[in-house]
Amino acid sequence: MKPAYRSVFRELLRRELGERYRGSFLGLLWHLLLPLSQLLVLSWVFSTLLQARTQFENLSYAAFLALGLWPWSLFSNAVSNSVAALTGNAALIGKVSLPHHLLVDAKVTASVLLDLAGFAVVLLVLLLFGTPLQFSGLPVVLLSLLVLYIFAVGFANIVAVLNVFMRDVGAAISQLLSLLFFLTPVIYDSSQLSQHLQNILHLNPFAAPINSIRNAFLGLPIDWLRLGIAALMAIFVAYLGYALLRRSRRHLEDYL
């Protein structure tokens, strides 16, 4: 039996996208309102309450934060949303034969697409408020986002499979992700740290893509070596995720 994989994937993706707003009143409008209100709160807390400043003349801290926070959320939301990609579809997996990775891929892709839309809205607002964004850096931004996406797919497969066997993975993952958040240069600028600390920080593979996105938008030099290493690691993690899923293919439905 050869299912029309592309149609299946598209249908699953449509479901994931639709599911977010099924029965909600504002629907997709939420994706305009949520990032904006988030940006508003963040800029008020950090710029007014905490008096946070960046090293750049004409860049508000809120703008600096936004450029790192949305890419990070794109990754972390995708992973945490995918924890239940297999367990939540137990009814489908137990009744029809379909490649399991499609379920995870659809979950990740839906989450990433929605967050990309949010990021676009935020960028638009930053531009309107006069933030000097360099759009010549856009290819680097897209490349870095792609690295984050591949990371997300890999980790999503791994946590989704583990969650089948141990249902506490969901809780553990959200803890781990928030820990990782502070170890990634999102709320602070890694270039202001000592060289020693920077080296340690760059053991974290998410540091390079996040820094690259921010630097590309600000017209700063890109650390291609570290971005390349991160890309290789992302591909490795994605391979690991698919390998795990393939290995578990034989027995997954027995544990759901």
Partner 1 sequence: MSDQTPLPLVEVSHLCKRYPVLANSADRLSALWDMLLGRTPTRHTTVLDDINFKVMPGCSIGIVGENGAGKSTLLKLITGVLTPSSGDVKTRGAIGALLELGAGFHPEYSGRENVRLSAALYGIGDAELKDKMMEIEEFADIGHYIDEPTKHYSSGMIVRLGFAIIAAVRPPLLITDEVLGVGDESFQKKCSRWIDDYVSSGGTLLLVSHSMYHVQKLCREAIWLHHGKIEMQGEVFAVTQHYLAWHESKQGKEPQQPPTLHSEFEYGIESVASNGSDSSDDLVCRSGEDFTIEVIMTSKDDSVPVLMCGWARADETPVYGISSEMDKVLPEKIARGRYRYLLTFTNLSLLPGKYYMKVHSMDTTGLRLFQSVYRTIIVTGQSRAYGLMLMPHQWG
Which spans of this chain sit near partner 1 (rule: CB under 8 A)? 1-4, 7-8, 10-12, 14-15, 19, 22, 91-98, 162, 165-166, 247-251, 253-255
**Distance in Å, CB of 221 to partner 1, minimum:** 43
| Residue with Cβ nearer partner 1 (12 or 62) | 12
The sign of the dihedral angle between the CA atoms of 29, 17, 243, 166 is: positive
**Distance in Å, CB of 112 to partner 1, minimum:** 21
Q: What share of the chain is helix, strand, coil (3-state, %, to 5)?
A: 75, 0, 25
| Residue with Cβ nearer partner 1 (19 or 178) | 19
| Residue with Cβ nearer partner 1 (102 or 147) | 102
**Distance in Å, CB of 12 to partner 1, minimum:** 7
Show the tokens assigned to 91.
């009814």
Residue with the two structure tokens 């949303």: 81
| Residue with Cβ nearer partner 1 (166 or 225) | 166
| Residue with Cβ nearer partner 1 (224 or 255) | 255
Show the tokens assigned to 33.
């309102």
Show the tokens assigned to 166.
């141990």
Integer angstrom CA distances of residue 254 from 47, 62, 160, 164 = 53, 49, 15, 10
**Distance in Å, CB of 88 to partner 1, minimum:** 11
CA dist., res. 156 & res. 150, Å (int): 10
**Distance in Å, CB of 243 to partner 1, minimum:** 10
